[in-house]
Amino acid sequence: MLQNELKGKSTKIVLVAFDLLYLNGRDLRKLPLIQRKAELKKILTGTDVQFSESFEIEGREMFAHACKLGLEGIVSKVRDGPYPKGRTSDWVKKTCIQRETLTIAGFALDKGKWDGIYVGRLKGDDLIYAGKVDHGFDKTSAADLQKRLKPLIRKAQPYTKRIAHKGIWVEPKLLAEIEYRAKSAEGKVRHPFFRGLREDL
């Protein structure tokens, strides 16, 4: 959404506040989270800043619901705890992992070395760019995949709308299982990881 806004599109950006550490020169970090949030809610009332509500439900249920909605994950905090210093189990981020079968549109080499694959998502007859995947390969899987892709090489990109990246483009015939954390507003996969070819489809 931020990328779209910076490009001049009409997406509205909302600032969300989730904690309050200082108020009018007073250090609130030793107060329990629930009190800090109560103070935060008071000062945000009537402003354009959105207050991040807490959900006091079982963590697994909340996490499953967040992943089903396609969110990146959840943050869990101890409601009676002070603001923690450094890494602690009082404040835990749990990230959703999503999987999708995507079409391989090309691959990249960096000075002759394997540098990942370009993937796309089919929408009707159109192949839409879904990102570059450069994690999840070892020497064996990269060599095997390059061998499978070489006979499919073509001159032009198979994407319906050209992308600016340089790659070695292929006929979009092979499917890959891709694991990722979230999707951008344009549908590009974030933190993607190659899990293998889908030979069964």
Would you say how long the chain is, in residues? 201
Backbone region of residue 70 per phi and psi (left: phi > 0; alpha: psi in -120 to 50; beta: other values)? left
| 3 state SS of 132 | strand
Homologous superfamily (CATH) of 98-197 is Nucleic acid-binding proteins (2.40.50.140)
Residue 54 has what DSSP assignment? -
54 residue type, one letter: S
Element (H, E) at 1: none
Averaged pLDDT for residues 76-90: 86
Q: Determine phi and psi for 98, rounding to 5 degrees.
A: -115, 155
112: burial class by Cβ within 10 Å (0-12, 13-18, 19+)? exposed
Whether residue 135 contacts residue 76, with contact meaning beta carbons closer than 8 Å, is answered with no
* Identity of the highest mean pLDDT range in 19-23, 88-92, 97-101: 19-23
CATH class assigned to 2-95: alpha beta
Residue extent(s) of CATH 3.30.470.30 domains in the chain: 2-95
Q: What local confidence, expressed as pLDDT, does residue 179 receive?
A: 92
Name which of 19, 69, 72 is nearest 49 in CA terms.
19
Q: What local confidence, expressed as pLDDT, does residue 16 receive?
A: 92
Q: What local confidence, expressed as pLDDT, does residue 4 receive?
A: 63
**Range 154-157 contact pairs with CB under 8 angstroms and sequence separation of 24 or more:** 157/105, 157/106
Residue carrying structure tokens 């002070």? 82
User: What's the pLDDT band for 182 if we cut at 50, 70, 90?
Assistant: confident
Whether residue 135 contacts residue 192, with contact meaning beta carbons closer than 8 Å, is answered with yes
pTM value > 0.85: no
Backbone region of residue 73 per phi and psi (left: phi > 0; alpha: psi in -120 to 50; beta: other values)? left
Q: What local confidence, expressed as pLDDT, does residue 177 receive?
A: 94
Name which of 156, 184, 186 is nearest 171 in CA terms.
156
Whether residue 108 contacts residue 119, with contact meaning beta carbons closer than 8 Å, is answered with no
User: What's the pLDDT band for 201 if we cut at 50, 70, 90?
Assistant: low
Q: What is the pLDDT of residues 154-167, one digit of tens each?
A: 999 999 999 999 99
Residue extent(s) of CATH 2.40.50.140 domains in the chain: 98-197
Residue 52 has pLDDT above 70, yes or no: yes
